[in-house]
Amino acid sequence: MTMEKTLWQQVQLVRQKSPLVHNITNYVVMNNTANALLAAGASPIMAHAHSEIKEMVNIAHSLVINIGTLDEYWAESMFIAAETANTIHKPWVLDPVGAGATSFRDQILHQLLQFHPTVIRGNASEIIALSKTNKTITKGVDSTAESNDAVDAAQMLVNQYNTIVCISGETDIILSKNQSFHIRNGHPLMTKVTGLGCSASALTGAFIGTIEDKVSGTAAAMSLLGIAGELAVRESKGPGSLQVNLIDKLYNITEEEFTSHLKIERS
Ligand SMILES: Nc1ncnc2c1ncn2[C@@H]1O[C@H](COP(=O)(O)OP(=O)(O)OP(=O)(O)O)[C@@H](O)[C@H]1O
Ligand SMILES: Cc1ncsc1CCO
Ligand SMILES: [Mg+2]
């Protein structure tokens, strides 16, 4: 089977299985993230109360931890969730929003890494900062580096934490121990809608909660968002309509659209 077909089958599998994705994410993107998951066929739940975290991780198919609007209470929620996921082998995604911006973020991220995220998805600045907390170049939550600059940093994270790393940007680069993907879909206007990286992480959660091959699942999730994004841009007047059109495209995308627009290389 071609890679295009395989990844499309995974998109369909998420629609059929409708995985429950437990998100501990930030206040900015909760709504868009839940809508992106629903549009792709998954079932989102946002929950962070300490009293319910363990049960929620147990019933969910996957967990997504996003430190965007971190505070002390939520940090503890994240530790409980990540520890539970690691213990019961539930796949989980770490989105290190704003890594390197403050020592608080870096400290929490360092602790979360000890629970071996299945996938880490961040922009290039965040991945670099995550690997070298002593030399930070993150400026807020937007990337100031290119995906390529972050490859060495990502490789280090892959080896040290036995994880998959996805560096998002103009090219999405997915690295694991034995294979890598470069995906050249998406559109620059996507950086003008808040939280599309967060949606990428959440979709990755839905796919790794459904698909056994976590690297391929990550590639399918990133391909879906990139293609849906570039097709949605064609129907948009600016970031406002893009946000809405992207949700529609995640829901409506056809096999023909997916397979004919996919720009992916595997190595
Ligand atoms: N310059 C670009 N050209 C084409 N597509 C892009 C570009 N930048 C981002 N994208 C698309 O947007 C997606 C989200 O990636 P991005 O790196 O912007 O996330 P992020 O910085 O974490 O965003 P946020 O923190 O706002 O959620 C990428 O996977 C890609 O499809
Ligand atoms: C703008 C912003 N600030 C904290 S989280 C977030 C959403 C993008 O990650
Ligand atoms: Mg981000």
For residue 20, the domain's CATH number is 3.40.1190.20
Ligand 2 atom nearest 198 alpha carbon: 9
Q: How confident is the model at residue 141 (pLDDT cuts 50, 70, 90)?
A: low
Q: Do the Cβ atoms of 117 and 94 come closer than 8 Å?
A: yes
| Residue 175 near residue 155 (C-beta atoms within 8 A) | yes
Q: What is the pLDDT of residue 148?
A: 73
111 lines ligand 1 (CB under 6 A): no
Dmax (CA) for the chain in angstroms is: 48
User: Which residue from 23, 25, 26 has its CB within 8 A of the most atoms of ligand 2, so it is best to mutate?
Assistant: 26
> Tell me, what's the ipTM?
0.98
Ligand 1 within 6 A of 171 CB?
Answer: no
Radius of gyration for the alpha carbons in the chain, expressed in angstroms and rounded: 17
Record the pTM.
Answer: 0.95
Closest C-alpha residue for ligand 1 atom 10: 169
- The string of pLDDT tens digits covering residues 223-234 is 999 999 999 999
Q: Which two tokens stand for residue 8?
A: 């499309």
Whose atoms come closest to the Cα of 147: which ligand? 1
Task: Using a CB cutoff of 5 Å, list residues around ligand 3, an ion.
Answer: 97, 197
Distance in Å, CA 3 to ligand 2 centroid: 33
The yes-or-no verdict on residue 140 having pLDDT over 80 is: no
Task: Report the C-alpha gap between 245 and 228 in whole angstroms.
Answer: 9
Ranking 30-39, 105-114, 139-148, 201-210 by mean pLDDT, the lowest is 139-148
Q: Is 263 in the pocket of ligand 1 (CB under 6 A)?
A: no
Please, what's the b/e burial string for 97-114 (b: 16 or more CB within 10 A of its CB; e: otherwise)? bbbbbeeebbebbeebbe
Give DSSP secondary structure letters for the chain. --HHHHHHHHHHHHHHH--EEEEE--TTTHHHHHHHHHHTT-EEEE---GGGHHHHHHHSSEEEEE-TT--HHHHHHHHHHHHHHHHHT--EEEE-TTTTS-HHHHHHHHHHHTT--SEEEEEHHHHHHHH-TTS---BTTB--S-GGGGHHHHHHHHHHHT-EEEEESSSEEEE-SS-EEEE----GGGGGSTTHHHHHHHHHHHHHTT-S-HHHHHHHHHHHHHHHHHHHHTT-SSHHHHHHHHHHHHHH--HHHHHHH--EEE-
Contact 73, 27 (CB under 8 A): no
Residues with CB under 6 A from ligand 2: 26, 28-29, 68-69, 97, 141, 194-195, 198
Q: For residue 178, with 0-12 CB atoms within 10 Å meaning exposed, 13-18 middle and 19 or more buried, which class applies? A: exposed
pLDDT in tens, 232-260: 999 999 999 999 999 999 999 999 999 99
Best of 168, 187, 201, 258 for a ligand 1 pocket test (most atoms within 8 Å of beta carbon) = 168
Q: Name the domain count of the chain.
A: 1
Ligand lying closest to the C-alpha of residue 30: 2
Mind listing the pLDDT tens digit for each residue in 144-184? 667 777 999 999 999 999 999 999 999 999 999 999 999 99
Compute, in angstroms, the gap from residue 196 CA to the centroid of ligand 2. 10
Pick the residue whose CA is nearest to atom 29 on ligand 1: 168
- In degrees and rounded to multiples of 5, residue 46 shows phi and psi of -100, 125
What pLDDT digit, counting tens, does each position of 95-128 carry? 999 999 999 999 999 999 999 999 999 999 999 9
**Domain range enclosing 66:** 3-266
Indicate the annotated binding residues for ATP: 121, 168
Ligand 3 centroid to Cα of residue 7, in Å, is: 24
